[in-house]
Amino acid sequence: MVLAEPGAAGDAGAAAPGALDGREVVVPVQGAERVRIDNPLGNVVIRAWSRPESIHILAEKRAASPAGLERLRVHFTAFSSGEIAVETRVDLGGRERALPLIASGVDLVVEVPPDLEVAVKTFGGNISASGLRSATRLETTGGRIQISDIRGRVVTRQLRGGQSIAAVDGDVDLDGVEGQMRLEKVGGARIEVRIVDGDIRAEDLRSDQVLLASTLGDVVLVGIVRPHAHYDLRSYQGEVHLGVTSAPVGFELRVRSGLPMSSLLALQTTWRQGDRLRALVEPVPPPEVVASRTGDSPIVELTSVIGRVVVDSPQTLRADQDNRPVRW
């Protein structure tokens, strides 16, 4: 199915003032298992809606001229395998190609049954996903990624643009090259976040396996140190900050800090060599009755190869981050 006939409503994008067009359509998807969206021409918003056997697609296109509109296409295809594909293309010389354009574009809003598996890919367009209840994979070369209210595994791949993730209940695997990473109220068995040039700020992570790694930027984690959990925060050049709101059973701290570390928590150092140390931290806040420490205490690893490790108060870290400009 072609959503947009040449010159008719059906596709949309972002470009210079000129010709505009749009169309929305509701299509039945009985028996569908997953939705794949490929839009190299603009932004994608995907969200859940309440109709279990249909998909709502709003496509808007924009070009410098009516002739430019005629070259833009949006295709909807249902495969017997259970996959639904929504794709944007541009007609160049009689052949449709998946290429980004400067003066023309297509933006998509797609509403799907919440239990469908979702995969979205853009070039420079932003991606927003919300309300989904299944596995979600988002990829973009230069757009921003925003995720909220997801239950299911989340995977992102991004070259630059920045990512914001909130209220996710499921394993999380975020990967980027350049931009800022923001996470809040994220759970699941495992959380992995990796960025080359950018900061990572995370608060209220509800997972027992957490990896936050930046090569050039700072890494900040504020929240509860959960019993039996393992936290690995690392940066090569940036600073690594930990703000503990609570640690019911205390934790073992393992530090590598290129510059002298600082800590507002009392540390019982058990081993030190060069820029590395190990220490025990008592429960936060201190319990009324001190229990014996078990062998499966949480482990917190903080590594900054040429920067500094700081164990600070949550209030100080929140105030510092709130005053920093956001660099996408």
In this predicted model, what pLDDT tens digit does every residue of 231-242 receive, in sequence order? Answer: 999 999 999 999
Cβ-contact 11, 60 below 8 angstroms = yes
Residue tagged 């808007």 (tokens): 60
At 9, the pLDDT band (50, 70, 90 cuts) reads very low
- The first and second tokens of residue 115, run together, are 């239990």
Give the pLDDT confidence of 80-109 residue by residue, as tens digits: 999 999 999 999 888 888 888 888 899 999
Q: Poorest-confidence range of 21-35, 164-178, 200-214?
A: 21-35
Give the pLDDT confidence of 179-211 residue by residue, as tens digits: 999 999 999 999 999 999 999 999 999 999 999
pLDDT at 155 over 70: yes
pLDDT of residue 269: 96
Cβ-contact 63, 14 below 8 angstroms = no
Q: Which residues contact 50 (CB under 8 A, 6 or more apart)?
A: none
Secondary structure of 231-271 in HEC code, one letter for each residue: EEEEECCCCEEEEEEEECCCEEEEEEEEEEEEECCCCEEEE
Q: Which stretches within the chain are classed as H helix?
A: 66-70, 314-322
